[in-house]
Amino acid sequence: MIAPGGIRWVVLASVALLISGCGASSAGSRRALPASPAVSTTAVPMVPYERLVHSDSEPANWLTYSGSYMSHRFSALDQINKENVADLAPVWVYQVKNPGLIETTPLVVDGVMYLTEPPSNVAALDAGTGRTLWRWTRPMPAGVKNIGFPRVNRGVAVLDDQVFVGTLDGYLMALDAGSGSVRWEVEVADNQTGHSITMAPLAIDGKLIVGISGGETGIRGFVDAYDAATGERLWRTWTIPGPGEPGNDTWGGDSWRSGAGATWLTGSYDPDLNLLYWGIGNPGPDWNGDVRPGDNLYTASVMALDADTGELRWHFQYTPHDTHDWDANQIQVLLDDDWEGEPRKLLVTANRNAFYYVLDRETGEFLHGVEYAKQTWSEGLDENGRAIVIPGTEPSYKGTLVWPSLQGSTNWFSPSYSPLTGGFYVAVREMGAVYYKQDVDFEPGQPFLGGGEQRLDGDQAQGWVYALDALTGERRWQFNLLSPPWSGVMATGGGLVFGGSQEGNIFALDADTGEPLWSFYVGAATRTNPMSYAHLGKQYVVMSGGYGVFVFGLRD
């Protein structure tokens, strides 16, 4: 960590680069962009809640995990476009200090980039050069548990002059945005009972919203809100209802006690309705549903929560009584559009179970659903959106072949919605698996799985990027990948869709046709989501590969 005086020196150095003409636009199809400061002139980026609400109005910055509260993962920047994307090249690369999977989405605020490194470290970089401004390292205790998921961190949140990060050992940290020093820390839950934090927190008005990982140990999941200034917990909403609470009767006996329902990916938010939309994970045990008869609310669901109180306003369960580990933690995308001739507030999502859903986000009413990827477990959805399950597709002691695999038709990586095309872009995994059921006893802090799977790898597995009509789920085009992906996509104002592959290629597609327009080989698998920002009048696209975070810009 460098001293505050060092930060001021970096600011002056960056201004000097600006004076010397660094970042000036070249001739041709590059488009001029509003200049953003090299680094915040106060050396402390200020991000009040109002900036987060109106983040779409400043596309030069990337202020939240999904780019906006609506979770579109769309960049309105259009300097990089169909005509010139072939000229995209690396500008700088940041190598993480601790090797491990990089699943972070960097945030950029007024010329400062904040990103996480595995397992729970944070770095602040000059967005123009990659120079380290400060770096905060979380010491990990011996014996830290991460059962059922890798040692990853997906990013930070920013609010006012603080940066917030969750840690693998179950803490929420508030860091000073200018220096990286710790303002406060709070233990969200005990790691030794299986709890952990891998998601990027969500900052709203004076609050930090955070979820929990650990569904494979039979935890009782929850969503928390914390005071951004003090770290005081303001409310907690359990995803597994206890006795006397609505939904508890969907759990046979005492099975709710180990019901899981982890909340391990960042939710979406509607400031006008003051509602949070949070995807909920699988029930526990994962593959043996005999010990938990019933629909098992609120697992494999989306919960709409009052942001002030945590009160449940409505829910929709995508996969009742899930026995295939099809978490519903996929990003819930919010749209405002006409539905049957009337303006409507909508929520759309491509679920892990291979179905695409359209809901009314004010009421939770099911409006439409359709199969978007290969699946063999359901005959379709009924008029209420409930899957019509094909008999004999449950896991068994001998094994049952079903599509999709436990990784689902998509997973944690983000989709993207383009308001320019009306397209919903999603990276798709086409893979089946043989599901097995086993007997299991619950022991806190230990694996609570009840079976497993043998997936169909090799030639029987494929990957795709699909462009779906956001209102109907109808497929517009598809782009074939060599293997099932672990990276998300981002659409842009330049008419592009960026993504990455397990083979190590970062690529750009035509958002209208799916035609490949550019690719760059980074030498190792990509496992993250793209994002974009502008700095000194120049647009950049960011994605990781292997142990490096690659920043691309047009050649001068």
- Judge whether 446 lies within some domain: yes
Q: What is the pLDDT of residue 387?
A: 98
Q: What is the pLDDT of residue 112?
A: 97
Q: What is the pLDDT of residue 44?
A: 67
Q: What is the pLDDT of residue 34?
A: 47
Per the CB < 8 A criterion, the answer to whether 250 and 186 are in contact is: no
Sign of CA dihedral 335, 501, 408, 475: positive
Residue 102's nearest CA partner among 542, 405, 554, 556 is 542
Q: What is the pLDDT of residue 523?
A: 93
Q: What is the pLDDT of residue 512?
A: 98
Per the CB < 8 A criterion, the answer to whether 285 and 449 are in contact is: yes
Q: Can you tell me whether residue 18 is helix, strand or coil?
A: helix
H/E stretch holding 49? helix 49-53
Residue 344 belongs to domain with CATH number: 2.140.10.10
Q: What gap in Å lies between CA 267 and CA 65, rounded to an integer?
A: 9
Q: What is the pLDDT of residue 43?
A: 53
Measured at the CA of 322, the angle between CA 362 and CA 315, to 5 degrees, comes to: 15
How far is CA 548 from its chain centroid? 19
Q: How high is the mean pLDDT in each 10-residue block of the chain (556 residues)?
A: 29 28 34 46 75 97 98 98 98 94 97 97 98 96 93 97 98 97 98 97 98 96 98 98 97 97 98 98 98 98 98 98 98 97 97 98 98 98 98 98 97 98 98 97 95 90 97 98 97 98 97 98 96 98 97 95
Q: What is the pLDDT of residue 33?
A: 54
Q: Which domain holds residue 428?
A: 147-535
- Judge whether 547 lies within some domain: no
Give the predicted TM-score (pTM) of the model: 0.92
- Judge whether 162 lies within some domain: yes
Active site residues: 327
Counted domains in the chain: 1
Q: Can you tell me whether residue 255 is helix, strand or coil?
A: helix
- Judge whether 14 lies within some domain: no
- Judge whether 346 lies within some domain: yes
Q: Is 467 left (phi over 0), alpha (psi -120 to 50) or beta?
A: beta
Sign of CA dihedral 295, 300, 301, 307: positive
- Judge whether 31 lies within some domain: no
Contacts (Cβ under 8 Å, ≥6 apart) of 16: none
- Judge whether 27 lies within some domain: no
- Judge whether 530 lies within some domain: yes
